[in-house]
Structure 1
Amino acid sequence: MSERPSDTFLERYGRWALIAGSAEGMGIAYAERFARRGLDLVLLDRDGAGLEAQAKTLKAEHGVGVRAIRCDLADTESVEKILDGLEKLEIGMLVYNAAAADSGPWLEVPLARKNMVVSVNVLTPLALVDRLSRKMAARGRGGIILTSSMSALHGAPRQGVYAATKAFDLILGETLWAELAEHGVDALAFVPGMVNTPSFVRTGANRSATALMPPVEPEQAVDEALAALGKYPSWIPGRVWRAAAVALTKIVPRRLSIRFTADRMKQFGKS
């Protein structure tokens, strides 16, 4: 959808933004950016203490309304019940920033973990998008950002279910970009490589794994996502990472891209 310079962000997207996966990293950056633009916030995360601290800061610094709701995003039914309780709010912006991963050799990751990854990365965002996109379309305005990953661009050894679910998010986001534009709703599949978030730090990435391709800072990533929303079906933050995506998907044979990813994953956590 083309940019509408005369519209303010609030007029374009409505009163409330819902951010799933909001207690750290890009989630905090999204919340701050939205609050700065005058949107009230619904924050969903399993980190209750982090949510409360964030809500307190946002209220004090920006004077916006904040509903901080601790929840397990792997429990899709409970998330839908939360939406039932928010029925009267005009949620015009949805950011699904949460993710779960199955890092490790395929044969060593239990099925329960793989199922949890599917719930967090596919079933819950699907439920949120289905519910909220219908209301946005009926109002003729809204925005949806689904966080995918560059892992979705090809096979990803040692994170197979994660990559597969992020491929789902990528295709869904791009599809929504095409289908919802005529209803006044912007959609974006956001496809980061490495972002310098607490969850990334917890992976144990070492200098050798990040020297040539350093992670993007969360604030830069979010600013690029918001700039791309309404313009592109998908977006990769960081010039180096966009160049890498072109190389890995357009130039390098696919089998080599997969092996390259496997080698990089083995470097994580090594000294």
Structure 2
Amino acid sequence: MAPTALITGATAGIGAAFARDRAAAGMDLILVARDAARLDSFCAELSQEHGVRATAVPADLTKPAGLAAVEQVLTTEPIDLLVNNAGLGLNKSFLKSDVEDELHLLNLNIVAVMRLTHSALPKMVERGKGAIVNVSSVAGFAATMPGSTYPASKAWVTSFSEAVGMLVKHRGVRVMALCPGFTRTEFHERAGIAAHQMPGFVWLRATDVVRQGMRDLQKGKLVSVPSVRYKVAVGALKITPRAVLHRVMPRGAKSMGRTVGDSQ
């Protein structure tokens, strides 16, 4: 029986790259996304191309019913790899955002990650094998997007993954936070980031992010930062005085086409 990977946010960007990578490795797939038609089409494509079983689970992870449906799969099926990739950002200053939109972000970026990890771990620990990749971001290493709660949510994902990873690493289970920088996906379009205003060298390819992430997972790393340039950037963020970051980050946000403060 082939090992099985369950991937959320699976129809685009890093999630789709994970699906293609794991299908090419011979893993069966359980793919989760909101768009049922797009999901069915993608599953059929992967099954035909790689000869694996690809099962669609249409679900909105911000809704109790959608989250419960995926939790049921995790507690009843032998899942070897869980990739918590689904997430979102808001293109609004906290002063202008709607509290329901903020809760929507927190429910997807934090609550869903916690609950699906909590559902998957017991059976993995019982079997003495399995892995979870929680897709975070380099944005979580500092308040890189002034006025946004997105970096805070990703800081939580990274810290949570490290903590749980330390808990289960001696039980044959690996948990890792994958922290990419700017990656060419639909996410940045939805987040209102003006890609054309940014130099090409900052952008990563989703396939490269996934390959590096899987290599780091095999090495037993708790945190993976793909690309040397982003490793250097994260190192710099960690040693730069907060007062300096507080002056620099608003200017960086403007260069991405984002407005900070009370103007949105």
TM-score over 0.5 for the pair = yes
Pairing partner for 1:255 from 228, 243, 250: 243
Distance 1:254 1:184, change over 3 A: same
Q: TM-score, normalised by structure 2?
A: 0.90
Match of 1:232 in 2: 221
Distance 2:146 2:42 in 1: 33
For 1:138, what is the secondary structure of its paired residue? helix
Distance 1:47 1:269, change over 3 A: farther
For 1:219, what is the secondary structure of its paired residue? helix
Distance 1:157 1:259, change over 3 A: farther
Pairing partner for 2:71 from 60, 83, 88: 83
Shift of 1:263: 1.8
**Is residue 2:232 matched to residue 1:243?**
yes
**Is residue 2:23 matched to residue 1:45?**
no
Which letter maps to 1:64? V
**Is residue 2:5 matched to residue 1:25?**
no
Distance 2:64 2:155 in 1: 19
Alignment map for 1:5-16 (pairs within 5 Å): 15-16=3-4
Shift of 1:258: 3.6
Distance 1:233 1:29 in 2: 21
- CA offsets, 1:14-56, max 9 Å, x none? 7211101111011111111111121111111112232122111
Distance 1:32 1:225 in 2: 14
Are the counterparts in 2 of residues 174 and 233 from structure 1 also a CA contact under 8 Å? yes
For 2:198, what is the secondary structure of its paired residue? helix
Distance 1:207 1:37 in 2: 34
**Is residue 2:193 matched to residue 1:223?**
no
Match of 1:58 in 2: 46
Shift of 1:261: 2.6
Distance 2:139 2:247 in 1: 13
**Is residue 2:117 matched to residue 1:102?**
no
Are the counterparts in 2 of residues 55 and 67 from structure 1 also a CA contact under 8 Å? yes
Q: TM-score, normalised by structure 1?
A: 0.88
For 2:7, what is the secondary structure of its paired residue? strand
Distance 2:34 2:146 in 1: 25
**Is residue 2:115 matched to residue 1:127?**
yes
Percent of aligned positions that are identical? 26
Shift of 1:164: 1.1
Distance 1:59 1:29, change over 3 A: same
Which letter maps to 1:118? L
Aligned length: 256
Shift of 1:182: 1.2
Distance 2:70 2:175 in 1: 23
Q: Which consecutive aligned stretches of 4+ in structure 1 deviate over 6 angstroms post-superposition?
A: none
- CA offsets, 1:110-169, max 9 Å, x none? 100100011001111111000101110000000000011111111234453211111110
Are the counterparts in 2 of residues 75 and 124 from structure 1 also a CA contact under 8 Å? no
Cα root mean square deviation, aligned: 1.9
Distance 1:165 1:194, change over 3 A: same
Shift of 1:76: 4.1
Pairing partner for 1:155 from 140, 143, 158: 143
Which letter maps to 2:138? M
Distance 1:157 1:29, change over 3 A: closer
Distance 2:6 2:147 in 1: 28
Distance 1:146 1:159, change over 3 A: farther
